[in-house]
Amino acid sequence: MSKALILVGGGKGGVGKSLFSMAVVDFLESTGANPFLVETDTSVPDVFKTYRETVGGELVNLDEREGWIELVNLVEGKPESTFVINTGARNQTGISNFGKTLSKALPQLNRKLVVFYHARRTARVRAREGGRSGRCREVFGAWNASAGGMVHRAVGARKAARTLAVARERHESQ
């Protein structure tokens, strides 16, 4: 089974991307997986600072094409690791512009991309946007298109938290 690339993203700050990334790294470490953190929020690399000594990690700027090439090279050099990519709020533009660099490399890397997209808006904004599920589908569609249709799964923050909780329960019951 190939190791996953787990990308935790969202279009704005304060929706829980960093906290969720930390939970994923902790979960992977507790299950004996070999997590490796890629921190793309280079302006506030708190998750990187937390894990660089224990699980390892790299700061990578995904706002530029070179950052995507660096990410592909990191993944290629660590086939034993499950990558957790913590994105900054501003990285949406870089993903749109350069995400195909990663998508083209996924088959050769024998990896699948799992996206956890975090969105938190008020009920008034959701109503104006036509409901949360429609907006999440629209954003996921953009991410999937930028990744050349190679995104394995994308979910909102609540479902992501439930998914992680169920995975932990299954692991603990084994």
pTM beyond cutoff 0.75: no
| CB-CB contact of 40 with 88 (8 Å) | yes
Considering the domain boundaries, does residue 95 fall inside one? yes
Considering the domain boundaries, does residue 171 fall inside one? no
Considering the domain boundaries, does residue 86 fall inside one? yes
Considering the domain boundaries, does residue 166 fall inside one? no
Q: Could you give the number of structural domains in the chain?
A: 1
Considering the domain boundaries, does residue 48 fall inside one? yes
Predicted confidence at residue 120, as pLDDT, reads 59
What CATH number is given to the structural domain containing 95? 3.40.50.300
**Percent of the chain whose predicted confidence (pLDDT) is above 90:** 20
Domain range for 115 = 4-155
Burial of 168 (0-12, 13-18, 19+ CB in 10 A): middle
**Would you say residue 133 has pLDDT above 60?**
no
Considering the domain boundaries, does residue 115 fall inside one? yes
**Would you say residue 93 has pLDDT above 90?**
no
Considering the domain boundaries, does residue 76 fall inside one? yes
Band (pLDDT 50/70/90 cuts) for residue 148 is very low
Q: What is the mean pLDDT of the chain?
A: 75
**Would you say residue 127 has pLDDT above 50?**
no
| CB-CB contact of 5 with 112 (8 Å) | yes
Considering the domain boundaries, does residue 96 fall inside one? yes
40-49, 109-118, 165-174, range with the lowest pLDDT: 165-174
Predicted confidence at residue 130, as pLDDT, reads 44
Band (pLDDT 50/70/90 cuts) for residue 156 is low
